[in-house]
Structure formats: C-alpha cells, structure tokens
Amino acid sequence: MPARLPIAVPFLDVGASYRELKQEYDEAYHRVMNSGWFVLGQEVEAFEAQFAAQCHARHCIGTGSGLDALFLILRGYGIGPGDEVIVPAHTFIATWLAVSHTGATPVPVEPEEQTFQMDPARIAAAVTARTRAILTVHLYGAIATMDAMREVASRYGLLLIEDAAQAHGAAWKGMPTGSLGDAAGFSFYPSKNLGAFGDGGAVVTNDGDLAGRVRALRNYGSAGKHVHELRGYNSRLDTLQAAFLQVRLKHLAVWNARRKAVAEAYLKGLANARGCQLPSVPNEVDSSWHLFVIRHPERDQFRRLLESRGIETSVHYPVPPHLSPAYSDRGFKRGDFPITERLADTLLSLPMGPHLDKAMVDQVIQAVHESANE
C-alpha cells in the first residue's frame, strides 16, 4: 500500500458555499442583525413561502432540525403509543427516532438491493391493524418507487410521509419531493444540498390542518401569543439560518446540476472499475445526488487504499438502526435484515458536491481504478 497522502479531494467542502456566495450571505447576515429580530419573523416567513413554492406545496413550517420535522408531522397526525409506522431498515437512525419519540413503534422493511430504497413490494407484509403510516426515505437524493408506495398506502388507508432530508430538489416523474405524499420532512444540516450554517428543518405539506397543528406544536403549542392550545415544543427554524437559506435556495438548481454532472462523470468513468457496483437510479427519478454511493466487497480495505491516495470517503451507514444499541430492547439480531446488513458492510460514499472541479473528479476516478486493481 502506498504511503498515505494529505487529503487531495475532500469528501465535501462545506466552506466552499460561503466562499462562492460570500457577498450574498454577508448581506443576509447584516439584514438580520440590523433588524433586531432573531426568532421567527419575516425572514422565516419569506423562506417558508419560497420553499413551499419550490416543493409545489401550499405550506412550509420551519423547524429546529430535520428530526424535529419528522417528529412534528407524526405528532401532528396524532400518531403515538400503540401505533406502528413502517420505516426503511436501511436509513439513518433519525427516521426511526422520529417514530420512537412519539411513543409509536418503527416497523422496518428491507430495501431493494439495487436502488437502496425501501422495497414497496415488502411493505404490505409489514402492515398490521396498528399501522398508521409509511415513512419512506428518499435516500442519497434518489426516490423510492412512489407509485407503488401510494398504492399500498391507499389500499390500507395509511398516511404516506416523505423523509426528504437528502433530496432537496429531487423529483419523481417531474414532481418535486415535498409534493409526493401527505407531508414531508426536510433537513437543512450544513452538509445537505440545501444546507444552513447550523441546524434546521422544515415540514412541507398541502394539508392545511396538519400545517396549523405543526405551526403551533413547534412554538410551545401556541398559535397566538400566550394562548397554548397544545402541549407543544420549542423547535423553530432560526431567523438567521432562514436568511441564509433564502440565499442558498436561489442557487439550489444550479448546484444540483453540478452534482448531477459529477455523478455522470463517475458513472461513465467508473463503469468498468473492478469490484465496484455503481448506484442505480430509475428513469422516473431526477436524483439530487446528495451522495454518490458505490458498493465494494472489501469496503474497508478499499477505503483505506483510497485514503492512501488522498481521497476522503465516508460510509452511510455502517451500523443499521436495528443493530444500534439504541434499539437493543427490540430484540433484533444480526441476520434479521440481511439485505440491509449487506449494504452496511459494503457501501462507500465517494466525494460529492457542487464544488468538485473536473481535476478532482478525474483524480477520484483514477484513484478508484488504481485501488481496485491493487
């Protein structure tokens, strides 16, 4: 193995966003600071209106995080103890936590091995008399088979909720995330396609009743000052982050197009890379390419070889939720979800982002081939 080089291609250069749009971000900062208004207010309302329009939805409610967005959707629909919510077995643990925090039970379903998305053909078998909702995840910026998801939800009278934390600007048959189910939860964590300079999230929906409940729940259960109809929470999108997100939203389509160009270069340049299985995205999906995730049978060794060549990578996700200590009380064991476990052992995320230039992409492609042949 060659000696490890300094990082030549970072997994994601989060700071590049600020460097490219410094003047716009600085103007947004000074606008908020000079206003003296730092919680909710016009900046949050402006971003909510803009993001609702982006998602072809009537309502957007800013929240403190993506996890809070999912939790408040479930809570707003009255889901709680005794209820079950179908979730992907292969996902970040926040999807499961949102369900658990309501007191309901997450019921995991295996993914399709080629697309990594929850397999709609397996959902019906997981439905019981206690099932209230399907919480599907648009993992890595791609989208699950929504037609089949809707059919199952309709057949059993279930809510269909999108975890769109990784899919800002992605679309299914031309319709954007946020408009594909009853409601959607987004995250604005700094590494997301639409990322803030801190944490944040949003609920997007066409359901006016749900929007009203979530708007109250995020603000101590209050729809008006000093009047608390619900036992609510404090989960409000920060005013300064809302101002930054307005800047970022204007550039989302262009930056997603840059990501797509990187993905296309990878797909072409790595088509014959030994031992590497490339991501598969259905024709109906316009992915946001939040991540570019490959599979390799010797993932950990392969990752070390890439790092020795200066290529920074990541793993999404090495410990499936069902094997996490957080869910040890459920009695899950290795072998319960074999597809999920195979993915956890073999997936590797290559550098991806709107600020990767051609030289960096070419360097990644060369390093993958060299490492695969070593």
285-286 and 227-228 beta bridge pairing: unpaired
- Tell me which CATH code domain 252-372 carries: 3.90.1150.10
Give the mean pLDDT of the chain.
96
- Are 72 and 218 spatial neighbours (Cβ–Cβ below 8 Å)? yes
Each residue's pLDDT tens digit, 61-116: 999 999 999 999 999 999 999 999 999 999 999 999 999 999 999 999 999 999 99
The pLDDT, as a whole number, for residue 224 is: 77
CB atoms under 10 Å from CB of 91, counted, come to 27
Give residue-wise pLDDT tens across range 251-310: 999 999 999 999 999 999 999 999 999 999 999 999 999 999 999 999 999 999 999 999
CATH architecture of 22-109+117-250: 3-Layer(aba) Sandwich (3.40)
Task: Work out the average pLDDT over 218-242.
Answer: 92
Q: Where residue 225 falls among pLDDT bands split at 50, 70, 90?
A: confident
Q: Which stretches does DSSP call E strand in 201-302?
A: 201-205, 222-224, 227-228, 285-286, 292-295
* Residue 53 phi, psi (nearest 5): -65, -40
> For the chain, which residues make up each domain, given as ranges?
22-109+117-250, 252-372
Give the residue-averaged pLDDT of 318-334. Answer: 98
C-alpha span between 154 and 61 (Å, rounded): 26
Position 6 confidence tier, pLDDT thresholds 50, 70, 90: confident
317 cis-preceded (ω within 30 degrees of 0):
yes
pLDDT at residue 3 in the model? 57
Which of the residue ranges 35-39, 223-227, 234-238, 315-319 would you say has the lowest mean pLDDT? 223-227
pLDDT of residue 227: 87
**What is the pLDDT at residue 111?**
98
Q: What is the DSSP code (8-state) at residue 184?
A: E
Judge if 22-109+117-250 and 252-372 fold alike in CATH terms: no
The backbone torsions φ and ψ at residue 13, rounded to the nearest 5 degrees and listed phi first, read -95, 90
Q: Assign 4 a pLDDT band (cuts: 50, 70, 90).
A: low
- Tell me the average pLDDT across 1-19: 84
- By percentage, how much of the chain surpasses pLDDT 90? 96
pLDDT at 144: 86
Which of 2-11, 35-44, 296-305 shows the lowest mean pLDDT across its residues?
2-11
pTM over 0.75: yes
CA-nearest of 8, 77, 54 to 245 is: 54
